């Protein structure tokens, strides 16, 4: 195919303002791009991104330089038996009876407390007042850490996400990320050691006591997992709430359908993950030369997988530029499992271990928000999205005045 447009630069200001038209050009004309500044190949078609997530030839070795400097070595960098063992050590806390009985009350309490605090504020910025705080507060409470430290964790979360989103390698952002890593370790390691001696009924105690075939997680591994949970669990839920509410407010008939039938919140979340996902790109590294649409990627190269582009692939979804929670080419029942037909949680062996936690937080939070806002509209027009690595509205001003 002869390209009609130059390959987009994903670090350009125009791309950051609105990547979706560029995603279309990439899928149609430039499915494989070498970006010199990022030293990475970029892929945008659903089938290619799915292959990068499922095919064992693609490794997560890129996390050695991408994540380890700020988190330490995490489960995302592990493979084979080591990965399977560590995933089993942590996964039980994020699904089934453990999630339902132990952590659902934590989620409900934190949602209620934040919503009680915004009831008398009208208009209110849902991002500042709820979305950015809710998942971080939940994680801190799940770990059994002091409520007085919510603000401290929110600051660490912001710093680490800036580090991970630092595609231009700004040295000040990198230095702040390193300081945060040291502060977080200095805070967490003594608590982990104390929790081993005096366990409680919390996630941190569960992680300290978890054992498979005589193997337990080290203090450093638990600290690294908590750091990863803080950002991965916080960022996805934070931005998903903001984007989901924006999508519903832009489609009043779908908002009213969800208001009338709260079981549709899961479908609205799944469609948001396809249409405007919290994380727009994830990197992988092939262990051998691999063929993708547009050419061959050499072994050892970094491949940037554009989830935001793949979710609107015309070859995979009907009318992909339209938000429609009732679409029949996206399964809500599979959307939060490794069989998902969207890519926002990855697929395969590194499918997001916290997917059900995120779903539970979204269902509880949005349900309570709708109860607290029987009438709601944008206070000052639809907000713009922002971000390249992760993306969502940075503000979401709404008011509850009658339409």
Q: What confidence score (pLDDT) does residue 96 get?
A: 74
Own/partner pairs for 58-66, CB < 8 Å, 24+ apart? Answer: 58/284, 58/285, 58/286, 58/287, 58/290, 58/303, 59/284, 59/285, 59/286, 59/287, 60/284, 60/285, 60/350, 61/285, 61/287, 62/283, 62/284, 62/285, 62/302, 63/283, 66/164, 66/283
Per the domain annotation, does 381 fall within a domain? no
The CATH number given to whatever domain includes residue 247 is 1.10.630.10
In the chain, how many domains are there? 1
Per the domain annotation, does 172 fall within a domain? yes
Whole-angstrom CA distances from 123 to 135, 377, 397 are: 22, 10, 6
Residue the block writes with tokens 């491949």:
303
Per the domain annotation, does 34 fall within a domain? yes
Per the domain annotation, does 278 fall within a domain? yes
Say if residue 402's pLDDT is above 70.
no
Structural domain of residue 123, as residue ranges?
Answer: 13-371
Average confidence (pLDDT) over 212-240: 89
Per the domain annotation, does 324 fall within a domain? yes
Instruction: Report the candidate in 61, 393, 15 with the shortest Cα–Cα distance to residue 238.
Output: 393
Highest mean pLDDT pick, 4-18, 149-163, 301-315:
301-315
What residues contact residue 17 under an 8 Å CB cut-off, 6+ apart? Answer: 384
The two three-digit tokens of residue 102, written as one number: 């132990």
82: left (phi over 0), alpha (psi -120 to 50) or beta: alpha
Per the domain annotation, does 284 fall within a domain? yes
The two three-digit tokens of residue 390, written as one number: 């992760």
Model confidence pLDDT, tens digit, residues 79-117: 777 878 778 878 877 877 888 888 999 999 999 999 999
Per the domain annotation, does 300 fall within a domain? yes
Q: What confidence score (pLDDT) does residue 39 get?
A: 94
């Amino acid at each position: 195919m002869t390209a009609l447009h130059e390959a987009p630069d994903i670090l350009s200001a125009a791309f950051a303002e609105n990547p979706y038209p560029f995603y279309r050009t990439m899928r149609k004309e430039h499915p494989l791009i070498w970006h010199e500044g990022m030293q990475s190949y970029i892929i945008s078609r659903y089938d290619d991104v799915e292959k990068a997530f499922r095919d064992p030839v693609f490794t997560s070795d890129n996390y050695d330089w991408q994540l380890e400097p700020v988190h330490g070595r995490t489960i995302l960098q592990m493979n084979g038996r080591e990965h399977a063992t560590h995933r089993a050590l942590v996964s039980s806390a994020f699904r089934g009876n453990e999630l339902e009985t132990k952590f659902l009350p934590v989620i409900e309490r934190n949602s209620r407390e934040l919503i009680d605090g915004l009831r008398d504020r009208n208009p209110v910025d849902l991002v500042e007042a709820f979305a950015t705080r809710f998942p971080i507060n939940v994680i801190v409470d799940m770990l059994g850490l002091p409520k007085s430290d919510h603000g401290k964790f929110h600051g660490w979360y912001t710093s680490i996400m800036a580090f991970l989103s630092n595609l231009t390698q700004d040295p000040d952002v990198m230095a702040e990320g390193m300081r945060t890593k040291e502060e977080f370790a200095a805070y967490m390691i003594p608590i982990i050691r104390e929790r081993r001696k005096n366990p409680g009924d919390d996630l941190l105690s569960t992680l300290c006591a978890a054992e498979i075939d005589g193997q337990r997680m080290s203090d450093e591994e638990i600290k690294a997992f908590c750091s990863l949970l803080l950002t991965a669990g916080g960022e996805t839920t934070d931005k998903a709430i903001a984007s989901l509410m924006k999508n519903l407010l832009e489609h009043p008939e779908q908002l009213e359908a969800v208001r009338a039938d709260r079981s549709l919140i899961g479908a609205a979340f799944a469609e948001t993950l396809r249409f405007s996902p919290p994380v727009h790109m994830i990197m992988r590294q092939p262990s051998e030369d691999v063929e993708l649409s547009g050419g061959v990627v050499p072994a050892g190269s970094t491949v940037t997988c554009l989830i935001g582009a793949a979710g609107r692939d015309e070859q995979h979804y009907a009318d992909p530029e339209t938000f429609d929670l009732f679409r029949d080419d996206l399964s809500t029942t599979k959307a939060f499992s490794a069989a998902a037909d969207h890519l926002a949680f990855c697929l395969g062996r590194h499918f997001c271990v916290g997917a059900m936690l995120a779903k539970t937080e979204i269902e509880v939070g949005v349900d309570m928000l709708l109860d607290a806002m029987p009438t709601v509209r944008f206070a000052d027009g639809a907000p713009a999205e922002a971000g390249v690595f992760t993306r969502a509205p940075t503000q979401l001003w709404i008011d509850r005045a009658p339409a």
